[in-house]
Structure 1
Amino acid sequence: MRSPFWLVPMTLLAGCTVGPDYRGPVSAGAAPPPAAFARADRDAAPQAPAAAAWWTALGDPVLDELERRALAGSPSVAIAQARLNQARSALGLERANSLPKANASAVYVHARVPGVDLGSSNQNGGTGGGGGTGEDQESLNFYNVGFDASWEIDLFGGQRRNLEAARASLGAAEANLADARVSLAAEVAQAYVALRDRQHRLELARESAEKQRAIYDLTAERRDRGAASTLDVERQRGQVEQSNAAVLPLGADYDAYRNALATLTGEVPGALDDLLAAPAAVPLPPAEVAVGDPAALLQRRPDVRAAERKLAASTAKIGVAKAAAFPRLSFLGLIGLGGTSIGDVVDPDKLAAVAVPQLSWNFLDFGRNAARVGQAEGARDEAAAQYRSAVLVALRDAEDALSRYGARRQAVVTAARSKASADTSATLVRQRFDAGTATRIELLDAERQRIAADQALIQAKAQMTTDFIALEKALGLGWE
Structure 2
Amino acid sequence: MQILRSPSLLLIPALTLGACTVGPNYAGPPRTLADTAAPAGFKRGGPLASPAAPGVAAWWTQLNDPLLTQLETQALAANPNIAVATARLRQARASLRLERANQAPSANASAVYLHARIPGFDFGGTSGSDTGASAVDVYNLGFDASWEVDLFGGRRRSVEAARAQAEAAEANVADAQVSLTADVAQAYVNLRDVQRRIALARDAARMQQQMLTLTQQRFGQGAASDLDVERLRGQVESTNGQIVPLQAELESYLNALAVLTGQEPGALDARLSPIAAVPLPPAAVAVGDPAALLKRRPDIRAAERQLAQRTAQVGVADAARFPRLNILGLIGLGGTKLSDISPDKLVGLAAPMLQWNFLDFGRNRARINQAEGQRDEAEAQYRGTVLGALKDAEDALSRFGHRRETVASLLRSKASADRAADLMQQRFRAGTATLIDTLDAERQRVAAEQNLSAGTAGLTGDFIALQKALGLGWGAAPPAV
TM range (shorter): over 0.9
399, 404, 411: which is aligned to 1:404?
399
Aligned to 2:229: 233
- How far has the Cα of 1:339 moved from its partner? 1.0
Inter-partner Cα distance in structure 2 for 1:9 and 1:137? 51
Equivalent pair of 1:325/1:369 in contact (CA under 8 Å): yes
The answer to which of 311-320 and 238-247 deviates more is 238-247
CA–CA distance in 1 between the matches of 2:264 and 2:72?
A: 16
1:4/1:452 CA distance change after superposition, 3 Å: closer
Which of 292, 308, 321 matches 1:312? 308
Cα deviation, residue 30, structure 1:
7.5
2:114 is matched with 109
Q: Distance in 1 between matches of 2:34 and 2:311?
A: 15
- Paired with 1:89 and 1:52, the residues of 2 have a C-alpha distance of 28
Aligned to 1:136: 132
- Given that 1:128 and 1:138 are in contact with CA atoms closer than 8 Å, whether structure 2 keeps it comes out as yes
What is residue 37 of structure 1 aligned with on the other side?
Answer: 42
Distance in 2 of aligned mates of 1:342 and 1:157 = 45
Distance 1:128 1:479 in 2: 77
Whether the aligned pair in 2 keeps the contact of 1:30 and 1:388 (CA below 8 Å) is no
1:342 equivalent to 2:338? Answer yes
- Give me the identity figure in percent: 61
2:91 is aligned with what amino acid? Answer: Q
Contact 2:14 2:149 in 1 (8 A): no
Q: Is the 8 A contact 1:28 1:384 kept in 2?
A: no
Which residue identity does 2:430 align to in structure 1?
A
For 1:198, the equivalent position in structure 2 comes to 194
State the alpha-carbon separation in 2 of the partners of residues 27 and 287 from structure 1.
35
One of 423, 428, 432 as aligned partner of 1:433: 428
Please state if 1:59 is matched with 2:64: yes
Post-superposition offset of 1:178: 0.1
Please, what TM-score do these two structures have when normalized by structure 1? 0.95
1:364 to 359, 372, 375: 359
1:322 equivalenced with 2:318 (yes/no): yes
Whole-Å separation in 1 of the counterparts to 2:61 and 2:34: 35
Q: Deviations over 1:316-370 (max 9, x none)?
A: 000000001111112111111211112323x112211111111111111111111
Which of 74, 81, 94 aligns to 1:89? It is: 94
C-alpha separation between the residues in 2 aligned to 1:333 and 1:270? 65
Contact 1:419 1:454 in 2 (8 A): yes
The one of 122, 147, 155 equivalent to 2:151 is 155
Q: How many residues align?
A: 470
Within 5 Å, which residues of 2 pair with 1:379-390? 379-390=374-385
1:23 correspondence with 2:21: no
Deviation at 1:85, TM superposition (A): 0.4
Question: What RMSD, in angstroms, separates the aligned Cα atoms of the two structures?
Answer: 1.6
Render the CA deviation track for 1:234-282: whole Å, top value 9, x for unaligned: 1111111111111112111111101000000000011111221222110
1:183-218 alpha-carbon deviations (Å, 9 max, x no partner): 000000000000000011101101111111111111
1:466 equivalent among 461, 465, 468? 461
Residues 333 and 354 in structure 1, CA contact (< 8 A), matched pair in contact too:
yes
Give the CA deviation at 1:31: 6.5
CA distance in 2, matches of 1:474, 1:432: 51
In structure 2, how many angstroms separate the alpha carbons of the residues matched to 1:270 and 1:7? 68
Q: Distance in 1 between matches of 2:221 and 2:32?
A: 84
Q: CA deviation at 1:27?
A: 6.4
Q: Return the alpha-carbon distance in structure 1 between the equivalents of residues 82 and 68 of structure 2.
A: 18
Find the partner of 2:161 among 159, 162, 165: 165
Decide whether the 8 Å contact of 2:327 with 2:351 is kept in 1. yes
SS of equivalent to 2:56:
coil
Deviation for aligned residue 1:11: 3.5
SS at structure 1 position matched to 2:135? strand
One-letter identity of the residue aligned with 2:151: L
Contact 1:26–1:32, Cα closer than 8 Å, also in 2: no
SS of the residue corresponding to residue 218 of structure 2 reads: helix
Describe the SS at the equivalent of 1:332.
strand
SS in 2 for 1:110: strand
Over residues 84-138 of structure 1, what are the superposed CA-to-partner deviations in whole Å (9 max), with x where a residue is unaligned? Answer: 0001100000110001101111212221121122114x1xxxx5222xxxx3000
Report the secondary structure of 1:299's partner residue.
Answer: helix
Shift of 1:10: 4.2
Take 1:355 and 1:5, find their aligned partners in 2: how far apart are those partners? 11
Deviations 1:53-112 (A, max 9, x none): 000000000000000000000001000000000011000001100011011112122211
